Chains A and B, each alone.
Chain A
C-alpha cells in the first residue's frame, strides 16, 4: 500500500532479527527425489518467465501462486554447473546468491534455469522449467519516479523517489508532506534530469509554495517560470543534452470523470504551448503561441538539433460555449500528431515545425516522443485520442526508425467516429477498444484511414491489452523502462525490457521488489520512471528549505 524507505534502516533491525529467527529455525530446502511433471509454467508473480535482465539488476524475487492444497514449495536455480535451492512460496534468493547466479550464468550461456516444485496432497510436481536470461548489457543503476495514488483531485503523500536497481534500496528525493498541512496542500510533478545526471534535475511544486526546483551541479534554485506572456509556469520539461537549457510545455489542464468507462478519468488540455528557458540568464522565451494548436510533451534529440513534440489542431465548434465544456463534449476528437522543430544552438532559435507522423490521419493520437541515446529510435505512446495516455487503455508503445523517417504532409481526414459506421458491422458485445479497432480496420480497408508508415511499428513485445506509457531509454540505449497498468488495470507499475540496438525488445519484466507481493499490496502508481546514472544526493529537507523560500521570477525574453 505504501512506500518503503531505506532511510528507515533503523527499523529494519527488528525485521532483521525476526528473519534471523526464522532462518535459524529452517533447514536448507532440498529438491524432491520423486515428482511428476507438469506441462504448464508455474503461475508466478511477478511474471519473470523468459525475461532478459541486465547484469547488474537486483534479485528477481517472485511469489508462487498455487491453489490452497499446495503445502510445500522448492525452487531450484541452475546456471552453468551450479545450483541453488530456495524454499517457500515467496522465492527470495537474496542478493548474494543472486550475484552468484548471474556470474555463473554469464560464464555459461547467459541463462538461469528455474524449476519450481510444488507439493500437493503429499505428492511433488515439477512445473515446466523456465529461463531467465542475463544480459551483459548493464542498466543505469538508479531510476527516479513519482509515487501517486491514482486519485483525481486529492494528493496527500505524494513523493518523488529514487530506487537503486542493483538492490532494493529506495529513498525519497522529495515528498510533499514535509511542506503541507491541512490548509496548504502541495502537488509535485514532472521530475526530469539532464542526460541521466542526478546532479542536474528539476521538478515542479504546485499550489502552496509553488515554483520550479532546479538543481544544477550543486546549485539549488527555485524559479517562477510563469510570465505575463506565457500560459502557465513550465509543465512537461526536456533538458538540452549538454547546456542548461530546458524546453517546457505550458498547459492549461482540466480533468473530468467517466461515468461508466473503466478508464475513469480524462485529462485534457484546453491550451498548451512551448517555451524555452535559459537557466544561465534566467530568461523564458515563448516558442509556440498558436491558440488553435495544443503543443505538448517536448523532447530534445540527443544531438540537440531538434525538438520533437506532439501537437493537436483544434478549431472551435461553438464559440459561444466555454472552451473546456466544448472540449469535454468532443474529447475523442482531440488527436495529436508528432512534429519536430530544428534548433539553432548559436542563436537559440527554433525553425519551422515539420510533421513527422500524421497519426490523426490514422484516427490515432500520439504523445511522449522519446529518442534513444544513439538518435536512431523514437519511441512514443499511441492511443485513440487525447494527450494523457496513462488513463487510456488503448495506449500502446510504438517505435519509429528515424533513419527512415522524413517530414510528411498532413492528410486531410474526416472526423472519425465509431458511430459513422453502420452498427451492423460492429459486434454488439465488443468493448470500446474492440469496437474502435474493428472500426479502424474497416476504415483502412475502405481507404478512409492511412496505413501505418513503414518506419513505425507497434512494439507488440512490450504492449499489453492495458495501458503502456511514460517510457524512458537507458543511457546505453539497451534498456527501456515504461509504465503499464497490465498488473491490475488501476495502478501503474514500471516494466523494464532489453533492446538489442536494432529495434527489437525482449519480454519486459516488472521492477523487482524484495517482497515479491509488494506491488499487489501497494496502492500507489509509479509515474514517469526515468533512469539516473547515480543517486540524487540532495536531501529532501534541503529541498524543503529551498521550497519555503520565494521563487525567483524568470524574465520574459521575446524573439
Chain B
C-alpha cells in the first residue's frame, strides 16, 4: 500500500517536474487566446491591418530607420498585414509566442511547473494587443500590435545566441564573449530595435550562466551589471548625438515603444501590459538563477535547500505558485481586454459601408442586444445607409438615437475614426482627402488613407494623383488586387463625368461595372455643388448638416440630402423651401413619412405655410393627434420622463425627434 502510494507520488512528481506536460498548459493558453482573438476581435484585427502600411521599398525602410527601433516597426508592419485574414495573423502571432516560450524555457533551463510560467510573457503581449481599442486610430508607432512581440522575440533570440555561445565556448573565452556580445547587442541593436535592444542588454546581463560555469564570482556579475547599466545609459545618448537627428531627446530610452500619449495627456494605464512584460522576466530570472544554482549544489548547502523547492519533497509548491501566477496573469489580461459594444459596432458598420452593404449597416444599427445608446458615428453610418437605400425619409427615426461618447479616456474625434468614409460618401471629397492627409502626417500613412486618396482623386479627376496612390497600394501584399481594380478606372475618365456616365447608363452601355457604379454614381450626384472656401473645425456631422441644410441643388439626390439635413437641424425656415422643391422634383413619388410629419408639424406650429391643401397620409395626421393628446395627458412630466414614456408609441416619428430628442452632442 505504502509502496503503491510512493509510486503514485513519484509518478505525479515526475509528471510535474517534466517539461512537456506543462507545455500543454502553454499551448492551451495560446490556443484559447488565438480562438478568442479570431472570434471576438476579427473586426478589430481587420481594421488594424487597414490602418497599417508596409511597402517593399528602400524608401519605406529608410523612413522607418530615421528613428531608433525602425526595424521593429518594419517587421511589425510587415506581419500586421496578415490580419487581412485574421486567422492568419493570429496564427503567426501565436506561433511567435510559442517560440518565445520554448526559447525562454531552453535558455533559462526551466523544468517542471516553472515552464508554464513562460506563458506570462505571451499573456502580457496579448494584453498589449487587446487593450488597444480606439488607440488604433491614434497610435503613432507603426505596426504597434506586433511591436512588443517582435521586440521580446529579439531580446530572447539575443539570449539564445548567448546561451549557445556559453554551451559551445571554453569557459574563459565565454566569459569575455558574454561582455562583447552584450555590448554588441546594445550598440548594433539599438538603432534597429530601440528600447527593445536596451531590454535585451538588461536580460543578457541578468542571464544565469549554464550550470557547468557555476559558481559565478560576484565580481564578474558586478562587472556585467555595471557594463549593462553604462551601455543602456550611454548608447541612446551617443546615437542621439551622432545619428538620429529626428528623435526627441526625452524619448531616446523609449524608442520603438508606443507613447500612449495623445495631445496633452499621457495614459499610464495603457503602459501596464508593457510593465507586465518586465514583471514576467523579473519572475522568471530569479527562478532561472535558483534553478541553475540548485542544480549544481548538494542538498545540504544553502543552494541545495533552494533546490529543495524543486525537489520531490515539495513538488506541490511549484505548481501552486505557477498556477497562482498564471491565474493572476489571465485575470490581468481579462481586465485589460477592451470590451465596448459601440466600438465593435462602429468597426462592423464601417466595414459594411466599405462593402456597400447598406442592409448590413442597418442590421447592426438595429441590434437590440444592448441598451447602450449609439455613438454619433453609428448614427451617421445608419443615416448614410438609409439615404443610400432611399429610405431615409421613411425610416430615419426607426433606429435608436444617441450621442454616447466613444469609450476612450481622451476625446475621440469622428474625423479620425470614420469621418473620412462619411465625407467620401457624401461627396465631400476634398474634406475626405484633407483628413487623410492630416492623419497621414500625424499618425503615419495607412492603406485605408491611401485608398481614400486614390478614390477621391479619381472622383476629382486628378488622374496622376490617383495613379500615385494606386501604385503605392499595388506594392502591398494584400491591397494589390484592390488597387488593380481601381486602376482600370483610369482608362475610363468619362465614367467620372456625371452627365456622360448617366447618358451611357441610360443607353445600356454603362462605363463602370455594377459594383463601381453603385459606389461612384451616388457620390458624383452628391458632388453637384459649387466650390467655396470653408472649414469643418473637426466636427464632421455638424459641418455636413450645416452645409447640406444650407445647400441648394438641382440634383435629386443632393436635393433630398438638403431636406434631410434641414429636418435633422429642426430648422423650419430652411425646411420649407427644400420640402417644396422635393415635392416638385418628385411629383410621382409618395411623400416619405418623416417629411410629411415635419410639414404637418411645422404647419401647425407656425401657420406660416398653408398645409390645408397638402395630401397628408391619414396615419401622419392620426399619429400627430395621438402625440398631442398623449402630451396633454403627460403634462406634469419632465422632458426626460416624457422621452421615456413617449418612446414606445412615438419613438419612430419626427414628432418625437423634434420635441424629445435634444442635446445630441456631436464629436
Binding site for B on A (CB under 8 A): 1-5, 7-8, 10-11, 15, 149-157, 159, 172, 175, 177-183, 256-262, 264, 266, 328, 331, 487-491, 515, 518, 520-523, 539-541, 544
Contacts and interface: CB of A to CB of B under 8 A. Distances in A.
A151 B442 CA distance: 10
10 contacts: A151-B434, A151-B438, A178-B247, A182-B259, A182-B262, A257-B534, A259-B529, A259-B547, A260-B430, A539-B245
A489 B464 contact: yes
A156 B527 contact: no
Ranked 9 nearest A-B pairs via Cβ: A2-B63, A260-B531, A256-B533, A540-B245, A177-B246, A488-B464, A154-B441, A182-B261, A261-B531
Interface in B460-485: 460-462, 464-465, 467-468, 471-472
B263 A5 contact: no
A258 B468 contact: no
B240 interface: yes
A182 B260 CA distance: 10
Given A149-B437, A177-B246, A523-B440, A331 B533 contact: yes
Contact of A179 (B57, B61, B248, B529): B248
A262 B438 contact: no
A181 B464 contact: no
A515 B58 contact: yes
Contacts of B428: 259
A75 to B, nearest CB: 21
A46 to B, nearest CB: 13
Contact of A152 (B437, B457, B462, B547): B437
Among B57, B62, B245, chain A packs the most CB atoms within 10 A around the CB of B245
Contacts of B264: 182-183
B440 A149 contact: yes
A162 to B, nearest CB: 12
B15 to A, nearest CB: 48
Interface of B: 55, 57-63, 65-66, 191, 240-241, 243, 245-251, 259, 261-264, 428-431, 433-434, 437-442, 445, 457, 460-462, 464-465, 467-468, 471-472, 527, 529-535, 547
Contacts of A10: 191, 243
Contacts of A180: 248
Given A256-B534, A260-B529, A181 B248 contact: yes
Contacts of B547: 259
Contact of B59 (A2, A156, A179, A491): A2
A460 B57 CA distance: 36
A543 to B, nearest CB: 10
A96 to B, nearest CB: 21
A277 B471 CA distance: 48
A262 B460 contact: yes
A206 to B, nearest CB: 16
A148 to B, nearest CB: 9
A11 B65 contact: yes
Contacts of B471: 520-521
Contacts of A489: 462, 464-465
A455 to B, nearest CB: 35
B472 A521 contact: yes
Nearest to B240: A541
B533 A257 contact: yes
A207 to B, nearest CB: 14
Contacts of B262: 182
Given A181-B248, A540-B245, A541-B245, A156 B441 contact: yes
Given A156-B442, A259-B531, A490-B462, A11 B250 contact: no
A7 B472 contact: no
B485 to A, nearest CB: 16
A332 to B, nearest CB: 10
Given A259-B431, A489-B462, A515 B243 contact: no
A419 to B, nearest CB: 12
Nearest to A255: B535
B433 A264 contact: yes
Contacts of B245: 5, 7, 172, 175, 178, 539-541
B63 A1 contact: yes
A257 B434 CA distance: 9
Contact of B431 (A151, A257, A262): A257
Given A256-B535, A260-B531, A262-B462, A8 B59 contact: no
A7 B239 CA distance: 12
Contacts of A152: 434, 437-438
A332 B656 CA distance: 46
A350 to B, nearest CB: 34
A488 B468 contact: yes
Of listed A159, A489, A544, residue having the most chain B CB within 10 A? A489
Nearest to B57: A521
Contact of A15 (B58, B433, B441, B531): B58
Given A10-B191, A256-B535, A181 B434 contact: no
Contacts of B534: 256-259
B2 to A, nearest CB: 67
B481 to A, nearest CB: 16
Contact of B430 (A178, A183, A264): A264
Contact of B66 (A3, A151, A153, A154): A3
A150 B241 contact: no
A1 B251 CA distance: 24
A36 B531 CA distance: 51
A518 B529 CA distance: 37
B465 A490 contact: yes
A307 B246 CA distance: 37
B472 to A, nearest CB: 6
A260 B527 contact: yes
A491 B465 CA distance: 9
Contacts of B531: 258-261
Contacts of A4: 58-59, 62-63
Contacts of B433: 264
